[in-house]
Structure 1
């Protein structure tokens, strides 16, 4: 009813976990010029990754002839990006028809789009050729961050003609102390890099503190994470407010890129801990939750504390 009250001619629907830049005006113009009921944006991906996405088949005029959501054996590498332009009447009818179906899972990719194609609706694919990443896996999340550090990057965060609007708090400027080394990295406001620390090809969110003698490589450290002295962090993802003990060793640059250790929010890691690539530490884990100094690949450590004991 919210959409109907506005009575728009067209409705633009976007996924929330995709990274790309697109001028939607061009897609809407494509939609109008083809007289489409719905237009989906589509992009080719490596065939070995195609099974993660909805597979699109089109004719010579870009009309969609087939759509299959995440097939085990894709017949094409052209995939749905999850960006749509609908005519209001077409979307209203498709949602209502799906609502009436008792056997439907009420999913866009599994039910609504295939039903529209089978029912003869004019469904078209808008060919997109720019940078696009679906951050639906740990590796794609990590890879998209590393892409920002390329020269030139596929998406330039410093382009003043394409400003990203987001909520953020003001913090003091980053402080990089004498003797620290920072290379090919993004370091946000409020960060402190102590003498002798090294940060390479990493992204540090606001308030991250890297203590003296520590190194951080190919890692993503989120807000207010604290790295102790002489620790080594390699190809790791850490959530907010993680506290890493002195001389900890986490991750491995020589490991498979798919084996990325993940450290949960508010976790506190003891001194001298070794967390191998592919291991995971849950949220709110405390020093008392560790029974070994080595957390091997594939292991998952959770807190043993009760919810009322976590603060």
Structure 2
């Protein structure tokens, strides 16, 4: 059956209807309760309401409903007075004569729009919003008490209550800034990105994915020791995979990266995501599993490896992790290399390979040897078999007597484990 009416989910029920609702589980009225009532011959009535209805459960419908109001499709009393055709001005609003208002717009009570600002078509400003000079707002909804600094650009965005967007910040189509967020100077919120309430985005940061659990959006990935933050909050599996893909893109396809971790669950989880990111960009992984940093550095220097990475808890903080990166000499990567990774990460300019080029994961068996073993890990393709023979060891070798099985050093003060 085709109809231009919908069930809005607003019901007036007789008490006896509750006898048809099973206890202790979710129930759907349309598919369960109503058919049961009809089967028992109970009457069901519907009232067709006049007017406009829109399901505003998505950002697109939420923004479009504001547009429908300004287009006159919905009979709504907009507070304030109509300054001109399609332009409403709230009580106490102050719009500078040199500010531009183009097309339909709603400017709430006590708003202040400074000279040089532009309020474009289908822009909605809540109460007490301040718009500084040079700001440009179009097809966006800005909630009460927000601050839009000089040169802020909004295109098809929703800005939450009491959020603070500083000079030159930019929000692209479909982006949402939650309540009481701080967006720093010249930060860029990409299309369809959601910034959840009470978050901070640092000046100059480029945010390409939603900030939900993370405490902030940082301009720079790298700190003093690497990429660090709260485990599963700032450093999530998704972020670990994306950082790995950015790192992998700086290396030649088919290169080998040594990976390791400490014994924590957080490091184990994040390293698995990190290795998946490397593989997705065509990088092979030789995983040492649990290994000390010096061992990881040493093995990264072997001819088979092009780089290394380790993930472990931050010293003295069981809630935070750090991802450290090593060059082919086992040394921390340079600042220039860090910035290259950050640029790729910010642009999401990752190398993605075809299915047949996805990297392999191997685990050392016995002591590392620069001499290829007589046999190599079985492979389904000649290309993989040739590659694997140079860096997989399939023959386990027992450690020398009185040595540590982890680092092969003599037991004692020199043991790295």
Coarse TM-score class (shorter-chain normalised): 0.5 to 0.7
2:153 aligns with 232
Give the structure with the higher percent strand: 1
Residues 282-293 of structure 1 aligned to structure 2 (within 5 Å): 282-288=196-202, 293=205
Residue 106 of structure 1 deviates from its aligned partner by 4.1
How many Å separate the matches in 2 of 1:139 and 1:148?
A: 14
Contact 1:210 1:227 (C-alpha < 8 Å) held by counterparts: yes
2:47 aligns with 126
How many Å separate the matches in 2 of 1:301 and 1:136?
A: 19
Q: 1:104 to 1:93 in 2, by over 3 A?
A: farther
1:270 aligns with 184
How many Å separate the matches in 2 of 1:270 and 1:110?
A: 49
How many Å separate the matches in 2 of 1:242 and 1:271?
A: 14
Residue 245 of structure 1 deviates from its aligned partner by 1.3
Contact 2:166 2:184 (C-alpha < 8 Å) held by counterparts: yes
Residue 145 of structure 1 deviates from its aligned partner by 1.2
Q: 1:155 to 1:248 in 2, by over 3 A?
A: same
Where 1:115 maps in the other structure, the secondary structure is helix
- Structure 2: 5+ residue runs without aligned partners? 80-89, 217-229, 231-417
Of 170, 173, 194 in structure 1, the residue corresponding to residue 114 of structure 2 is: 194
1:299 aligns with 210
How many Å separate the matches in 2 of 1:80 and 1:116?
A: 17
Residues 134-153 of structure 1 aligned to structure 2 (within 5 Å): 134-150=55-71, 152-153=72-73
How many Å separate the matches in 1 of 2:92 and 2:18?
A: 49
Contact 2:187 2:201 (C-alpha < 8 Å) held by counterparts: no
Where 2:63 maps in the other structure, the secondary structure is helix
Query: Does residue 113 in structure 1 map to residue 34 in structure 2?
Result: yes
- Structure 1: 5+ residue runs without aligned partners? 1-56, 58-74, 160-170, 253-259, 307-311
Q: 1:103 to 1:280 in 2, by over 3 A?
A: closer
1:93 aligns with 16
Larger Rg: 2
1:84 aligns with 11
Residues 223-262 of structure 1 aligned to structure 2 (within 5 Å): 223-252=144-173, 260-262=174-176
How many Å separate the matches in 2 of 1:114 and 1:97?
A: 10
TM-score (norm 2): 0.45
Residue 236 of structure 1 deviates from its aligned partner by 0.3
Contact 1:182 1:199 (C-alpha < 8 Å) held by counterparts: yes
TM-score (norm 1): 0.59
Residue 137 of structure 1 deviates from its aligned partner by 1.8
Tell me how large the CA RMSD over aligned residues is: 2.9
* Post-superposition CA distance 1:84-103 (Å, at most 9, x none): 344xxxx20011332xx357
